[in-house]
Amino acid sequence: MEAKIRKNTLPGREAHAIMTHESRRSELQKLDFSTLDAKVASVMVLLYPNSNHQVQLVLIRRNKYPGVHSNQIGLPGGAFEDNDPDTECTALRETEEEIGVNKNEICVLKKLTPLYIPPSNFLVYPFLGICEFTPDFVPQETEVEEIIEIELSDLLADEHVQLKEVSSAYMPATKVTCFYLQNQIIWGATAMVLSELKEFIKKIEEDKK
Q: List pLDDT tens digits, range 73-89.
A: 999 999 999 999 999 99
Classify burial at 154, counting beta carbons within 10 Å of its beta carbon; exposed 0-12, middle 13-18, buried 19 or more. Answer: middle
99 belongs to a structural domain? yes
Torsion sign, CA atoms 195, 5, 77, 151:
positive
User: So what's the pLDDT on residue 23?
Assistant: 67
For the CA atoms of 164, 168, 170, 175, the dihedral, rounded to the nearest 10 degrees, stands at 10
* 52: CATH: 3.90.79.10
Positive or negative CA dihedral for 194, 195, 198, 204? negative
Give me the pLDDT at residue 149, please. 97
- The helix (H) or strand (E) run that includes residue 18 is helix 13-18
* Residue 207 counted as domain residue: no
Residue-number span of the structural domain to which 104 is assigned: 2-201
Per-residue confidence (pLDDT) for residue 24, from 0 to 100: 72
Q: What is the pLDDT of residue 68?
A: 54
Q: pTM of whole model > 0.85?
A: yes
The answer to whether residue 206 sits within a structural domain is no
pLDDT, residue 169, reads: 66
84 within domain boundaries: yes
Q: How many domains does the chain have?
A: 1
Residue 67 gets which letter from DSSP? S
Q: What is the pLDDT of residue 41?
A: 98
Supply the pLDDT for residue 70.
60
Closest CA to 72 of 199, 203, 185, 193: 185
Confidence (pLDDT) at 100:
98
Q: What is the pLDDT of residue 202?
A: 95
- The confidence score (pLDDT) of residue 45 equals 98
Residue 22 pLDDT: 73
How high is the pLDDT of residue 15?
95
Answer for the pair 39, 124: CB distance below 8 angstroms, yes or no: no
**H or E stretch covering 179:** strand 171-181
Question: Which residues of the chain are modeled with pLDDT < 50?
Answer: 69
